[in-house]
Amino acid sequence: MNKSSLFDGINEKDLKKMFKCFDTRIIEYKKDTTVISNMAKNNLIGVIMEGEAVLVRYDYNGNRTILEHLEEGSVFGGIFLSSNFNEISVHTTSYSKIVMFDFDHIPKKCNKNCDYHTVLINNMLSTLAEKLQKLNERIEILTKKSTREKLLEYFENTGRRLGRKTFTLPMSYTDLADYFGVDRSALMRELKYLKDDGFIETNKKRITIINY
């Protein structure tokens, strides 16, 4: 059950103790349920113990954008977001079991001074640092001026991370276009040009980077 890096190194028994001490609620949700709305304004931390969900945002037009896919172990909460986001909520995309507690518990020195507390704080630091890394990587891509550069940078990053030249995209092209902040059809077009120019080969969502 303990798949989240936030709880890494905390054993089952301590975790139970902690959940009690933190006044944690573990809630089970059916598919397609709104877990919390208006998230940016509160101080809750949530961890997906089982299932999947999405972090979504509604803009003033009512358009829904997926900000993040949350899977087993993912951590979410207002603390990770910009405070001028308005309507942010979490929706389950499958049956899910989610733990929620108040962020304030983390820095507070527990009166029982539980030893898992130190571990949890370290994990929280790592979790925040990881999120920062991801955001920085995305910014790096978003600031590239052309869609071509965005694609190449993204492919190189993915290739480097996996240590190989061929890989399957972890998301749909529709989502990739959103990730790049770019029109989907424009992305497909540029993808074709990249193939024509011999930079990559593709087969559905399988990408191969060509060494030139």
Residues in contact with DNA by the rule CB under 7 A: 145-148, 172-174, 181-190, 192, 204-205
Q: Which of 27, 18, 68 is nearest to 47 (CA)?
A: 27
Taking the least distance from each CB to a second copy, the nearer of 52 and 178 is 178
The number of C-alpha atoms within 13 Å of 60 and in the hemisphere containing its C-beta is 1
Tokens of 141: 């891509």
Give 20 or 204: the residue with its C-beta nearer to DNA.
Answer: 204
Residue 204 interacts with which of a second copy, DNA, none, CB < 5 to 8 Å by class: DNA
What does the alpha-carbon distance between residue 99 and residue 133 come to, in Å, rounded to a whole number?
A: 24
In the complex, the smallest distance separating the C-beta of residue 60 from DNA, rounded to whole angstroms, is: 15
Q: Decide which of a second copy, DNA, none touches 43; Cβ closer than 5 to 8 Å per partner kind.
A: none
Q: Toward DNA, which CB reaches closer, 136 or 146?
A: 146
Give dist(CA 70, CA 173) in Å, integer.
18
- Backbone φ and ψ of 75, nearest 5°: -115, 140
Residue with tokens 């733990």: 99
Beta pairing partners, 101:
45
Indicate which of DNA, a second copy, none lies near residue 200 (CB less than 5 to 8 Å, by partner kind).
Answer: none
Name every residue whose Cβ is closer than 8 Å to that of residue 12 and which is 6 or more positions away in sequence: 1, 2
**What DSSP character marks residue 95?**
-
Quick one: 27 or 110, whose CB is closer to a second copy?
Answer: 110
Per CB under 8 A, contacts with a second copy among 78-137 are 79-85, 106-107, 109, 118, 121-122, 124-125, 128-129, 131-137
Look-up: residue for tokens 């910014």? 139
For the CB of residue 151, give the shortest distance to DNA in the complex, in Å.
9
Give whichever of 52 and 102 is closer to DNA, judged by the CB atom: 52
Site for a second copy in 138-177 (CB under 8 A): 138-140, 142-145, 157, 160-161
The smaller minimum CB distance to a second copy, of residues 94 and 172, is found at 172
Residue 66 and residue 47: Cα distance in Å, rounded?
18
Q: What are phi and psi of 64, to 5 degrees?
A: -100, 125
Sites of contact with a second copy (CB under 8 A): 79-85, 106-107, 109, 118, 121-122, 124-125, 128-129, 131-140, 142-145, 157, 160-161, 178, 181-183
